[in-house]
Structure 1
């Protein structure tokens, strides 16, 4: 049997994960069987199990891939030496999140919400997801300090408190998009501008 390249191997893995996301989106994580994912991927059972030995492993891989791909989009925004002013920063972050989650066939916001639910009873999923969020919070803390230093943020509150509030806002963007829809980065930017400008000292 001819060997396949790393690129082909990754493409096959991505094919299986994409099939899993579509199935999860339609039926939910636990209502979806491995047999349905195999059919959706249009591969043999042996080919799928070669990459993912169980449904639990596939679920963790789906979460990890989602989070890692989103991180690649967010890191340039979060770690730039000169972060954008608050409103522009919020628009950049929500635009990147929107770009990652809105797809022609599925809304990944819905899938990741299911994965967060899975994390309440799956310790491995919880550790995986919380690890990413802790790192985001640390990065947001540094961004807040930049704003305060440049006078772009009037609040002199603790950067850690403000970072936690910001993270809650961004996570809420995912939740509201998944549950209610009709939400985009432009709407969020307009809403935040009106809210922040309307708050007194």
Structure 2
């Protein structure tokens, strides 16, 4: 039997996860069976179970993969030595989120809400999700301190409290996109500018 490369294994995992996301988007996480995911992936049951022992493991892998990929997009923006001013920062972060959640005809924002719901009853998922969010909140709090120092924000607010609210803003961006339709990054930028009382130049498409 020919040896399968790690690239081929990863491609097969991605194929299964993509099938799972499509099924979750159509039917919800708990209403989706492994049989449906196997059919959607167009693989044999043996091939799928070779990578994932069951739906619980697949759910965790889907969440971990999605959040890990998103972290890869956001961390370079969050960890800059000199972050962008608030409005431009909001535009950049929400644009990164949008690019990650709109793929292959799927709106992964809807699946994110399902994953957050799963975290309320699944301790493993809750630990995974909250771990990512705490890291984001720490990074945002650090950015708030820089903004206050540079005069972009009032120094009256406590950085940790402002950081928590800022995280809520980005989580709310995901919720609104899932429930009410996609919000444009430019809307997020203008909204932040309005909240903190600064002017911003509206970007236009080239």
Provide the TM-score with structure 2 as the length reference: 0.93
Match of 1:134 in 2: 134
Distance 2:87 2:155 in 1: 15
Match of 2:14 in 1: 14
Q: Which runs of 5+ in 2 are unaligned?
A: 199-206
Q: How many residues align?
A: 198
1:86-101 paired onto structure 2 within 5 Å = 86-101=86-101
Distance 2:36 2:115 in 1: 18
Q: Which runs of 5+ in 1 are unaligned?
A: none
Note the C-alpha offset of 1:70: 0.4
Superposition RMSD on alpha carbons, in Å? 1.1
Match of 1:120 in 2: 120
Match of 1:34 in 2: 34
Distance 1:182 1:52 in 2: 32
Match of 1:48 in 2: 48
User: Measured at CA, do residues 149 and 195 of structure 1 come closer, stay the same or move farther in structure 2, by a change above 3 Å?
Assistant: closer
**SS class of match (2:154):** coil
**SS class of match (1:31):** coil
Distance 1:33 1:45 in 2: 12
Note the C-alpha offset of 1:148: 1.0
1:192 correspondence with 2:192: yes
Whether the 8 Å CA contact 1:148–1:155 is kept in 2: the answer is yes
Note the C-alpha offset of 1:188: 1.6
1:94-152 Cα offsets, whole Å, 9 max, x none, are 01000000123210000010010011101101000000000000111111111111111
Segments ≥4 residues shifted beyond 4 Å: none
Distance 1:44 1:145 in 2: 53
Provide the TM-score with structure 1 as the length reference: 0.95
Distance 2:27 2:56 in 1: 16
